[in-house]
Every structure is written in structure tokens, then in C-alpha cells.
């Protein structure tokens, strides 16, 4: 059977990225797993999952080192997303953090650099640092993570057009962002980057998901990913260090959910009817 191509998503500056990428949280936490993690990331790239999400926080920087090692010599094939910790996100701290990340990633530029979540430093200072990093060619563009609607409004008040994404918790069991955050970002053509798309595995035990998976001769993880991939302007970044699961996640792209599937999923995982604060993991 021919493999369905991974769809692409346009960022506000016109760059296109794979809608299905790879996460790296918890990679690098155990030296004994390093070779397996590197092999999984490379296999994912070979299958087209070229957007790689990492952060200075993950394993204290070791996840970034793993990304650097996995893609040494293949830099131009990947789109690197990394993140600065809020406690580092001052004007000078952001630049220093980015330079440390670049070293660990063995590259001269990060394609998309995010503020991991809101913290103490003034947002205007973080944005000033992002502007300097862009001017110096160290990052290509910037975005945010774990920003609720009011945070986005504040951001847009400071810099209307610069933000390239908001990376937030989004999966079938975490739909509260559909009430206001998703419409607000969509209005500005800012893609959502959905983290923990299978709720770190906890979603997979759900009966509704199992039923639909059986109907499609698929797995619950594939259905959960296929559902997210149907959402407009949504980039999905599952993490796996297991080769078989990398292939399984990749194959979610070929699954076409029909109206009956969507109705069953909406019954099992209703969209919110009122605003709720953004959830985080």
C-alpha cells in the first residue's frame, strides 16, 4: 500500500513544516537508552517526521545533545524547535540559553525558539532577546508555549505579528483550548502545536478509542493522532523511542476518520461549553 504523505502546515511567515513531528521529553534521562533514542529519531526522520521538538529543560540539556547527535550531517533535513526556560528568559539570559542550546544541538541556528511557559521576566524583554537572536541568525523565528488566551492577547499587544506558534497540551481528553484559544490563534493564522497528543499513553485505554481503532484495523494511538491531524493548523508532536511505535504513529496519517467516528469521539470526549483555564503537564 502506498504511504500517505505527511501533510504540511504553513507558519505565519510562509515556511511549511511537517504536521506530524517528534517530541523528545524524557529522552536523555538514561544513558543506557541513548542509542535506542537516537535510532528512533533517525527512523522518524526517514519516515518524514522532520519537525523535532526539544527544550533546554529536557534531561537538563541532554535531549538536545541527542538531537544533535542523531542528526549530525542531516541538519538541513530537520526543523528544530527548542525552548528557553522562563527563569532564563531575560534579555541577556535568553541569548545565553540559546547559545548553549546551539552548542548541544551542534548547529548554528534553531528554526523555531519558544518561551517554554510564562515566568518572572517581562515578556517584552524575552521578545527583545528573540529579535536580537533573529538578527544574528541564531534563530529563524520565535513562538510561545503554554500561553492561555489572555497571555496571547498581551503578547499581541506587544508584538502583533512575530509569534509563529503556541505549543499547548491538546488531545482528545484535553479539548478546553477549543473554546477560545484555538479560535483566537486561528484568527491570527498561528498554528497550534499539540503536545502530549496521546496524553503520555493514558488516553489509549479509553473504550471509545479502542472501538474506533478496531473498526479501522488501527491502534488507539493512531486514532488519537489522526483526530488531531484533522484539526486545522495543528502540528502534532508525539514522542516515542520505540521503532515499532514510530512507524505506528507515522501511519496515523493515512487514517480517514468518518462522520460516525467523529460523532462517537465527540460523545466520548466532548468539546467544552464554557471557558476553562489552560491545562498544562
User: Which are the catalytic amino acids?
Assistant: 58
* Residues in region 62-121 near ligand NDP by CB under 6 A: 116
Q: Which of 4, 8, 173, 242 is the binder for ligand NDP (CB under 6 A)?
A: 242
Pick the closer one to ligand NDP by CB: 137 or 217: 217
Asked if 145 touches ligand NDP (CB under 6 A), the answer is yes
- Cβ atoms within 10 Å of 109's Cβ, excluding its own: 17
State the Cα–Cα distance between residues 212 and 256, nearest whole angstrom: 11
Asked if 167 touches ligand NDP (CB under 6 A), the answer is yes
Stretch that binds ligand NDP, among 6-14, 150-158, 233-241, 266-274 (CB under 6 A): 233-241
Q: Are 162 and 189 in contact (CB under 8 A)?
A: no
What are the two backbone dihedrals, phi and then psi, of residue 112, each rounded to the nearest 5 degrees? -150, 120
- Cβ atoms within 10 Å of 190's Cβ, excluding its own: 23
Pick the closer one to ligand NDP by CB: 44 or 135: 44
Q: Are 198 and 240 in contact (CB under 8 A)?
A: no
Q: How far is the CB of 116 from ligand NDP (least distance, A)?
A: 6
Beta strands in 90-158 (DSSP E): 112-115, 142-145
Angle at which helix 62-70 crosses helix 91-105, to 10 degrees, equals: 40
Stretch that binds ligand NDP, among 18-26, 102-110, 130-138, 176-184 (CB under 6 A): 18-26
Asked if 248 touches ligand NDP (CB under 6 A), the answer is yes
Stretch that binds ligand NDP, among 100-108, 241-249, 258-266, 267-275 (CB under 6 A): 241-249
State the Cα–Cα distance between residues 63 and 22, nearest whole angstrom: 12
State the Cα–Cα distance between residues 33 and 244, nearest whole angstrom: 16
Q: How far is the CB of 168 from ligand NDP (least distance, A)?
A: 7
Q: Helix (H, G, I), strand (E, B), or coil: what is residue 2?
A: coil
Q: Which of 146, 149, 165, 176 is the binder for ligand NDP (CB under 6 A)?
A: 146
Q: Which of 44, 86, 121, 197 is the binder for ligand NDP (CB under 6 A)?
A: 197
Tell me, what DSSP letter sits at residue 233?
T
Beta strands in 172-233 (DSSP E): 192-195
Asked if 240 touches ligand NDP (CB under 6 A), the answer is yes
State the Cα–Cα distance between residues 104 and 61, nearest whole angstrom: 7
Q: Are 85 and 97 in contact (CB under 8 A)?
A: yes
Q: Which of 183, 201, 272, 275 is the binder for ligand NDP (CB under 6 A)?
A: 201
Q: Which of 44, 196, 226, 250 is the binder for ligand NDP (CB under 6 A)?
A: 196
Q: How far is the CB of 140 from ligand NDP (least distance, A)?
A: 18
- Helix then strand count (H, E) for the chain reads 10, 9
Q: How far is the CB of 108 from ligand NDP (least distance, A)?
A: 22
Phi-psi region of 15 (alpha: psi -120 to 50; beta: other; left: phi over 0): beta
Contact pattern from residue 19 through residue 48 relative to ligand NDP, giving x for each residue in contact according to CB under 6 A and a dash for the rest = ----xxx-----------------------
Q: What are the residues binding ligand NDP (CB under 6 A)?
A: 23-25, 53, 116, 145-146, 167, 195-201, 204, 221, 237-242, 245, 248-249, 281
Amino acid at each position: 500500500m502506498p504511504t500517505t504523505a505527511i501533510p504540511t502546515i504553513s507558519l505565519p511567515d510562509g515556511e511549511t513544516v511537517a504536521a506530524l513531528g517528534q517530541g523528545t521529553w524524557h529522552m536523555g534521562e538514561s544513558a543506557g537508552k541513548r542509542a535506542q533514542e537516537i535510532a528512533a529519531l533517525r527512523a522518524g526522520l526517514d519516515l518524514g517526521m522532520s519537525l523535532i521538538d526539544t527544550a533546554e529543560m529536557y534531561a537538563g540539556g541532554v535531549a538536545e545533545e541527542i538531537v544533535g547527535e542523531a542528526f549530525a550531517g542531516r541538519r538541513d533535513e530537520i526543523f528544530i524547535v527548542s525552548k528557553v526556560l522562563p527563569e532564563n528568559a531575560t534579555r541577556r539570559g535568553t541569548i545565553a540559553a540559546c547559545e548553549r542550546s546551539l552548542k548541544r544541538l551542534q548547529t548554528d541556528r534553531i528554526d523555531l525558539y519558544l518561551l517554554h511557559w510564562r515566568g518572572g521576566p517581562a515578556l517584552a524583554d524575552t521578545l527583545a532577546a528573540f529579535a536580537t537572536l533573529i538578527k544574528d541568525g541564531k534563530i529563524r523565528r520565535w513562538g510561545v508555549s503554554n500561553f492561555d488566551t489572555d497571555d496571547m492577547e498581551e503578547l499581541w499587544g506587544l508584538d502583533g505579528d512575530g509569534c509563529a506558534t503556541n505549543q499547548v497540551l491538546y488531545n482528545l481528553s484535553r479539548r478546553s483550548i477549543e473554546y477560545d484559544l484555538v479560535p483566537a490563534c486561528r484568527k491570527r493564522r498561528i498554528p497550534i502545536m499539540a503536545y502530549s497528543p496521546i496524553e503520555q499513553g493514558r488516553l489509549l485505554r479509553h473504550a471509545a478509542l479502542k472501538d474506533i481503532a478496531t473498526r479501522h484495523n488501527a491502534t488507539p494511538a493512531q486514532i488519537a493522532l489522526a483526530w488531531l491531524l484533522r484539526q486545522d493548523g495543528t502540528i502534532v508532536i508525539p514522542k516515542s523511542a520505540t521503532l515499532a511505535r514510530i512507524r505506528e504513529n507515522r501511519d496515523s496519517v493515512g487514517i480517514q476518520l468518518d462522520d460516525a467516528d467523529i460523532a462517537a469521539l465527540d460523545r466520548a470526549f466532548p468539546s467544552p461549553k464554557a471557558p476553562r483555564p489552560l491545562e498544562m503537564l
